[in-house]
Structure 1
Amino acid sequence: MFENLTDRLSGSLRSITGQARLTEENIQGTLREVRMALLEADVALPVVKDFVEAVKQRAVGQDVSKSLNPGQMFVKIVNDELQAVMGQANETLNLSVQPPAVILMAGLQGAGKTTSVAKLARFLQEKEKKKVMVVSADVYRPAAIKQLETLATEVGALFFPSSIEQKPIDIANAAIAAAKLQFADVVIVDTAGRLAIDEAMMAEIKQLHAAITPAETLFVVDAMTGQDAANTAKAFNDALPLTGVVLTKADADSRGGAALSVRHITGKPIKFLGVGEKTTALDPFHPDRIASRILGMGDVLSLIEEAEQKLDKKKAEKLAQKIKKGKRFDLEDLRDQLQQMKDMGGISDMLDKLPGMGNIAQAAQSQIDNKMFTRMEAIINSMTPQERRNPDVLNGSRKKRITAGSGTDIQDLNRLLKQHKQMAKMMKKMKSKGGMANMMRGLGGMMPPGGKGGFPGM
């Protein structure tokens, strides 16, 4: 996310960081570059104008004269203004009402509303420890009701059945009544989408909103539509008292125009980012962290939170104890590591959150075959427990059986074994005195000149 914007802004800000003093003249060129970067990222024109003007006013004002390093101060000003445009701090859902708290989800067809309902249900159950019921009031698309039922089962949420013969208001009221009987804390109501905004749609959702008075009215919009996302959100906000926005498909949006435009145009905060297809792929929106990532400064806090939630601590502890006792790092351990890396979004996603690693993350994305980890897992799964614990027993006939069973070839298997040997060596260095330093030297040895090659498949 934001790759194009990060590249352009990093380049334009580099020219200003060596300045001894900031003046209107020496920041003019950089501001022009910043303006172009934002327009190319499909940020709405009024937002670009206000942003550039705000940066200019602060940069040539009193803030900079007190700074020892004006160049760094300019980067800080850009960072602060990016945060201001997106809303300063994360705004959580307001569920402090008499249960069940009702969340109404609105948006156009294809924006990912139904999937977002399931993601939000999972988020509220796992993070907020709420009992959640979901219901579909989309009476125009029978498949939407079935889809939500399937997703509700997957995330473990209560599902209230509905049919296309019913009226949306009746469905929602019946679901709320059922939620009270089952002591649910939250009811999430999925509504019908259209291909474009029309009067009938707006009238229907207005009536539904008036009938159930939700605690939260969230607008779900596709980040890929850029500034159009902000304009659509404004049209909905004019008809409905929105409380926030869920920006979906943010992982596929390299521009970031929607994230920078929505708040400014609607006055409503982005509360969540949809960052993938899985039901776990929903992140609270933190403007400060996003601004940091746009400027190539990484997002270590999100990486730590993700690690806390997704890494299996017992497995990590077990491996640490095993290495400490001098036992061998085997292929079962490697499989665990691959699974954990996949859960964290893969190498490129992890690198993207580390400071100064934005360009490397992009290079990794373009050079790493994302199916590689799946192939590696398939190869390991095709082995016997004995072969996984002791790869040295693998001879020609065993290799042939493994590759046939995993649908791979001998080159894939040999590459995996080579990679395993390198990781085993690193783990051995971790055990010895000066472990981390030795491991980093080992990693350096794996990287040929120019930095290419270290990770498998690069």
Structure 2
Amino acid sequence: MFDNLSDKLDKAFHVLKGHGQITEVNVAETLKEVRRALVDADVNYKIAKDFTNTVKKKALGQDVLKSLKPGQMMVKLVKDELTELMGGDAEGINLSGNPSVILMSGLQGSGKTTFSGKLANYLKNKKTKKPLLVACDVYRPAAIDQLHVVGDQIGVKVFSDKENKNPVDISEKAISYAKENGFNVVIIDTAGRLAVDEAMMTEISNIHTAIKPEETLFVVDSMTGQDAVNTAKAFNDVLNFDGVILTKLDGDTRGGAAISIKSVVNKPIKFIGTGEKMEAIDVFYPSRMADRILGMGDVVSLVERAQEQYDEEEARKLQKKIAKNQFGFDDFLNQIQQVKKMGNMKDLMGMIPGAGKMLKNMDIDDDAFKHIEAIIHSMTPEERQKPSVINASRKKRIGKGSGTSVTEVNQLLKQFDQMGKMMKMMQGGGGKKMMQMMKGMK
């Protein structure tokens, strides 16, 4: 996410390295590189220029703190202004209605239907809501079926009427159905087009007028850069939407849309899509995004994702197993599944401060655990529960069954054994012994 922009900003700040103070000359030189980095990231030139002018004014209007180097001061100023440019504070979603109606809008191919499912899944799991998805794309042949597939995947009911070609009528019937059947959130997936056209705008405007939604959200593909910003402006002129959804932020995005869309349409980015999985949805926090753009990571979001997968009852059971030395491969497999639900591996690693630079040229497979899973699935129930019974002939069978080698099976067994010992030490408060063991594992 934003790798190229992060690299270029890092190089820009290097201009100030070694300087004892901020001067007009070194500030101008640094901010010239910052502006160039923003424009390369597809940020509108005027926005980039206004941004650097604001930073320059603040940089020259204060003394450098004794505890900070000029480069650190400039990073802080740029971070604060980036946060402000992207909206300042995170914006929540309005769920005050009964039911709360959310109207989804956007061009075809922006990921609108998939994100409707992600939002339904998010509200069901995090806000304990009972959402209803509504299929109002009456033009694209597979659109209704696609929404049903998404609904089945996340366990959310989908309201549709294939015989009805009037999206206003479908929307109104869906809201009535929701009231009668106890659904407290209605998410309406509307038709998209390949480009902004009058018929499309008239149709979605008619739906908006008829149902008066609590939230109207514009879904945009962040990989389209400045085009995304221009499309958002066209939609906002007609719909006056409440917020923006940025999808495909896990792709090869330059970041221009995320940085400049708020200043163009004056509407907040509310959510971002960070992957293909239904769990790959995050509330947009401008401050956290600024940290990630500047290569500082995002530990808070990483912890929040971990907490979402944390089950207190399961943790207690696991603790007892570790204490009794009964932690087996089934438990290990369960832990892997929880990590995988947190998101793609490269995105997770990018949230760790400093890790982004180290990993930028590395190809981290999103299926990084597949060999481990294959080995565990090739074990018998007894072998998973009591790894100590796995002898040479069993290792050979497990390796053959999983498409791996005996060496890889041995490596996993060794790592599993070391992990079990560390878990036991952590429970017993043996921090010193654990540190010694970690040194021996290098």
Common fold, TM-score beyond 0.5?
yes
Shift of 1:175: 0.9
Give the aligned partner of residue 193 of structure 1: 192
Closer, same or farther in 2 for the Cα pair 1:444/1:34, shift >3 Å?
A: farther
Letter in 2 for 1:292: D
Shift of the 193–69 alpha-carbon distance from structure 1 to 2, 3 Å rule, reads: same
1:200-349 counterparts in 2 under 5 A?
200-325=199-324, 327=325, 329-345=327-343, 347-349=345-347
Residue by residue over 1:53-81, the C-alpha shift from the partner in whole angstroms, topping out at 9 and shown as x without a partner, is 1111111113x456653523222111110
Offset at 1:185?
1.8
In structure 1, the residue matched to 2:39 is 39
SS of corresponding position for 1:8: helix
Give per-residue Cα distances to partners, 1:129-171, cap 9 Å, x unaligned. 2221111110002311111122223323232122154211111
- Structure 1 residue 93 corresponds to structure 2 residue 93: yes
Matched, 1:150 2:153: no
Report the counterpart of residue 6 of structure 1 in structure 2. Answer: 6
- Amino acid in structure 2 at the alignment position of 1:150: V
TM-fit CA distance, 1:107: 0.7
- Work out the CA distance in 2 between the residues paired with 1:50 and 1:439: 53
Rounded to whole Å, the distance in 2 between the matches of 1:352 and 1:264 is 26
Alignment of 1:402-421 (within 5 A): 402-421=398-417
What is the 5 A alignment of 1:22-33? 22-33=22-33
TM-superposed deviation, 1:11: 2.9
The Cα shift of 1:9 comes to 1.6
Between the aligned partners of 1:68 and 1:424, the Cα distance in structure 2 is 43
Q: Deviations over 1:1-25 (max 9, x none)?
A: 1222222222322442543321211
Pair 433,101 (structure 1): closer, same or farther in 2 beyond 3 Å = closer
> What is the one-letter code of the residue matched to 1:398?
R
Deviations 1:19-70 (A, max 9, x none): 33212111122112212221222222222112111111111113x4566535
Give the aligned partner of residue 351 of structure 2.
353
Query: What CA distance in whole angstroms lies between the structure 2 residues aligned with 1:146 and 1:340?
Result: 29
Give the letter aligned to residue 114 of structure 2. Answer: T
Alignment partner of 1:427 is 2:423: yes
Q: How does 1:383-402 map to 2 (within 5 A)?
A: 383-402=379-398
How far apart, CA to CA, are the structure 2 residues paired with 1:323 and 1:346?
Answer: 28
Give the residue type in structure 1 aligned to 2:56. Answer: K
- Is there any run of 5+ residues in structure 1 with no aligned partner, and where? 448-458
C-alpha displacement of 1:425: 4.6
Q: What RMSD over aligned residues (CA atoms) do the two structures have, in Å? A: 2.4
Identity %: 52
User: Relative to 1, partners in 2 of residues 1:252 and 1:440: Cα closer, same or farther, differing over 3 Å?
Assistant: farther
Q: How many Å apart are 1:439 and its aligned residue?
A: 3.6
| Partner AA of 2:76 in structure 1 | K
Cα deviation 1:307-342 (Å, max 9, x = unaligned): 1111333343434444445x2654334323322322
State the 1:400 CA deviation: 3.6
**Structure 2 unpaired stretches of 5+:** none
The alpha-carbon distance between structure 1 residues 81 and 409, as it changes in their structure 2 partners (threshold 3 A), is: same
- Compared CA separation, residues 411 and 198, structure 1 to 2 (3 A): farther
CA deviation after TM superposition for structure 1 residue 418, in Å: 3.6
Q: CA deviation at 1:434?
A: 4.1
Alpha-carbon distance between aligned partners in 2 of 1:411 and 1:66, rounded to the nearest angstrom = 56
Greater Cα shift, 136-145 or 164-173: 164-173
Change in CA separation of 1:164 and 1:198 when aligned onto 2, cut-off 3 Å: farther
Are 2:373 and 1:377 equivalent residues in the alignment?
yes
Whether the aligned pair in 2 keeps the contact of 1:312 and 1:340 (CA below 8 Å) is no
* Separation of aligned partners in 2, 1:432 and 1:17: 46
Change (3 A) 1:303 1:173: same
SS in structure 2 at match of 1:6 = helix
Rounded to whole Å, the distance in 2 between the matches of 1:256 and 1:208 is 32
Structure 1 pair 66–406 and aligned structure 2 pair: CA distance change class (3 A): closer
Spell out, residue by residue over 1:382-426, the C-alpha distance to the aligned partner (whole angstroms, 9 max, x if none).
211221233343334323432343344444423323432443453
- What is the TM-score of this pair, normalised by structure 2? 0.92
Paired residue total: 441
Q: Following the alignment from structure 1 to structure 2, what is the Cα–Cα distance between the partners of residues 214 and 431?
A: 51
Q: Residues 415 and 164 from structure 1, CA distance in 2 versus in 1: closer, same or farther, beyond 3 angstroms?
A: farther
Q: TM-score, normalised by structure 1?
A: 0.89
Could you report, residue by residue, the CA deviation over 1:277-307 in whole angstroms, capped at 9, with x for unpaired residues? 1211111100011111111222121112111
What is the rounded CA distance, in whole Å, between the counterparts of 1:393 and 1:96 in structure 2? Answer: 58
Matched AA of 2:193: R
What is the CA–CA distance in structure 2 between the aligned matches of 1:177 and 1:400, rounded to whole Å? 61
Please give the alpha-carbon distance, in whole angstroms, between the structure 1 residues aligned to 2:58 and 2:102: 39
- Contact 1:223 1:253 (8 Å CA) reproduced: no
| Equivalent in the alignment of 2:54 | 54
Say whether the 8 Å CA contact 1:2–1:254 is kept in structure 2. yes
Q: Separation in 2 of the partners of 1:126 and 1:431?
A: 31
